Chain A
Amino acid sequence: MLNYLVRRVLVMIPTLLVISALIFVIIQLPEGDYLTTYIAELESQGESVSKEKIAFLRQQYGLDKSLPEQYFTWLFGMFQGDFGYSFEYDLPVSDVVGDRLLLSFVVSFATILFTWVVAFPIGVYSATHQYSWADHGLTFIGFLGLATPNFLLALVLLYIANIYFGTSIGGLMDPQYVAQPMSFGKFVSVLEHLWVPVLVIGTSGTAGMIRRLRANLLDELQKQYVVTGRAKGLPRMRLLVKYPLRMALNPFVADIGNLLPQVISGAAIVSVVLSLPTTGPMMLTALRSQDMYLAGSFLMFLSMLTVVGMFLSDLALAVLDPRIRLQGGTRR
């Protein structure tokens, strides 16, 4: 087990390094840098910018250095918790990002929890009642969830929530709680607002999860040991829970790896629509204004969240399934 763990961690490090390099390249791709955007903006307002000031700014933000130099500065800074400087907000990235990351994490976590809680009973029911009306209906709803663009569903649900439940529009809490410290009221308010994004982001993942669980459980249910169990008179429920369900659970855990990028992707666009104080909307504006360190840090954080999530799911899988532990490879 320790062996496996060490190997898995060793694979993770170069992965993260390559990801960071890729992200750096991607955020450098647009022509020009934040300063050119900034200067263009000033000039369009009729202000002139002196050459010296530009040079000074360029030097201060380290934009005059060569690209590899900039990259390594950024990379080593990250190890020390310094994620660079956000041009637009005139603050260190970590100060800008702080809360939003936490909320992003909360939303993602809640969504995964939701996916599990919903997909599990439905998947089991669909498999044990194959081809029943409920099975067909649930499958169809699942497909519909898969096919509807998240952002539109978000808009409609937000509208419904506002009309029928009086939830305030936008944000993750009622306006009066925004700058407040954590309290019971704030907590409740967050819960009231959380369900819309969670439901919206969760739909597509839930549909996929139900389909996989159903397929796996169906495979297991056809095996000989189930027949044997039934023949010797095990109660249905006990038979189901004791063996086939446990076998079918494996992909459930393994799926976090697939689910996480999906959830984070979904969260990005849904939070733009719902104007949640998470990473999505800020990343969008950062990308637009070429606030490169801010955008890059967001991308890096999101990827890190995914990689670590995958690592955890591999770990959980190894604990659950000795075959994986002993072979020692990563999940293929």
Chain B
Amino acid sequence: MSGANGAGPAMEHYVSPEPFDPHSIEALTPEQERYYMASQWRMMWWRLKRHHLAVASGAILMVMYLSVAVSEVLAPYELHTRNTDYIYAPPQELHFFHEGDFIGPFVYGLRYKLNMENLRREYTEDTSQVYPLRFFCSGDPYRFWGAAEGRFHLVCPAEGGAMFLLGTDRLGRDILSRIIYGSRISLTIGLVGICISFLLGITLGGLAGYYGGLVDDIVQRLIEIIRSFPELPLWMALSAALPVTWSPIGVFLGITVILGLIDWTGLARAVRSKLLALREEDFCTAAVLMGARPSRVIGRHLLPNFMSHLIASATLSIPSMILGETALSFLGLGLRPPITSWGVLLNEAQNINVVALYPWLMLPVVPVIVAVLAFNFFGDGLRDAADPYKTA
């Protein structure tokens, strides 16, 4: 101003010689760009990665599910191999050193004695017999997934020796092998069950949320009714209704359907409440105006908004299915031998004698606990990561 009336000295005027880019301030560093342009799933992955417990649980689950594909190879024995010399044998200890010398993993032989006073089978370690484990070996014949025959195992007992790292049951069957085989059924039952409940939940919840009104009322009442049944007695009643004449596979499918039929209510509620809010949004109206059918509006425009969230909550309800199957099979209402799941194995541990005399029969509970915990932690992490309103 002072320059304008010529009284003061002219103000120093500086112009940078650098080329001028008006967007330079808003330009993103490559790192920022990567962050802002990332897809929803990628951001979820980043957030999940920070959740160490969830990642570790996810890894454990992955290992478990991978093992399901090759159970026959991992298990040292076949599912039904009976070792009549070793009935109710306790878990053998795995040794590495024999009389001070390192000879790799091995087990000692078992000496069997029938205690004539209380008729208990007593096994003692016979340190004169050393049975080194064999790796990548040929052992019990099996049918891989019921089709291809094979004899290849990752680990087998020594020729003429036995190896029961987790003991044997009343028919002398190796518990470790049975647990490995059992995971095939126990782990898939949760996945198949959740698929059924997912489909039901999305469809019914979607209809209720999208149409509202009468449909909503009906679905809501239905959910309330199903939720007011105590779960387990209802499962018991339904699985008791499965015909005895069904094949074990039929029973397996029946049980999964039963588990799924009762479980969908939570998901349906989540879908409904989200849809109720979302259907008022402009993009939804736009889709409707352009002539999209309801199924397309729901499936294409509305559901993807919270799909990640849904998957996370579905993960959290798998454990209850695994536990449900275990409980049903334990009661003898669920799966029946020869189909083997962890629950079927636990069926052998039904009375207090087992706790007192053969506690290793309860070992199948360990993978149940591990799987349930892993699913819980993984689901928790996934849910946190899927929350779109949480800043990373």
A interface, CB within 8 angstroms of B: 14-15, 18-19, 22-23, 26-27, 29-31, 143-144, 146-152, 155-156, 158-159, 162, 169, 260-262, 264-266, 268-269, 272-273, 283-284, 287-288, 295, 298-299, 302-303, 306-307, 310, 330, 332
A149, B365: Cβ atoms under 8 Å? yes
Kindly report which residue of chain A lies nearest to residue B227, judged by CB atoms.
A261
A-B contact pairs, 10 of them (CB 8 A): A26-B237, A30-B240, A147-B372, A150-B327, A159-B352, A159-B355, A169-B352, A264-B230, A269-B327, A272-B331
B374 CB to closest chain A CB, in angstroms? 9
B240, A268: Cβ atoms under 8 Å? no
Q: CB within 8 A of A152: which of B229, B362, B373?
A: B362
Chief secondary structure at chain B's binding surface: helix
B205 CB to closest chain A CB, in angstroms? 13
B241, A265: Cβ atoms under 8 Å? no
A15, B224: Cβ atoms under 8 Å? yes
B232, A303: Cβ atoms under 8 Å? no
B372, A19: Cβ atoms under 8 Å? no
B331, A303: Cβ atoms under 8 Å? no
B229, A306: Cβ atoms under 8 Å? yes
B333, A287: Cβ atoms under 8 Å? yes
B254 CB to closest chain A CB, in angstroms? 11
Across-interface contacts of A330 in B (CB, < 8 A): 224
Kindly report which residue of chain A lies nearest to residue B272, judged by CB atoms.
A332
Most chain A CB within a 10 A radius of its CB, from B237, B355, B369: B237
B362, A265: Cβ atoms under 8 Å? no
Chief secondary structure at chain A's binding surface: helix
Contact of B349 with A by CB under 8 A: yes
B282 CB to closest chain A CB, in angstroms? 26
Across-interface contacts of A307 in B (CB, < 8 A): 228
A159, B346: Cβ atoms under 8 Å? no
B326-342 vs A, CB cutoff 8 Å, 1 = contact: the mask equals 11001101000000000
A310, B228: Cβ atoms under 8 Å? yes
B347-388 vs A, CB cutoff 8 Å, 1 = contact: the mask equals 001111011100000100100110011001100000000000
14 additional contacts (CB under 8 A) given A29-B238, A302-B229: A15-B228, A19-B228, A19-B229, A30-B240, A143-B377, A147-B369, A149-B327, A150-B327, A151-B327, A151-B330, A151-B346, A155-B349, A284-B236, A287-B240
B236, A283: Cβ atoms under 8 Å? yes
Contact of B286 with A by CB under 8 A: no
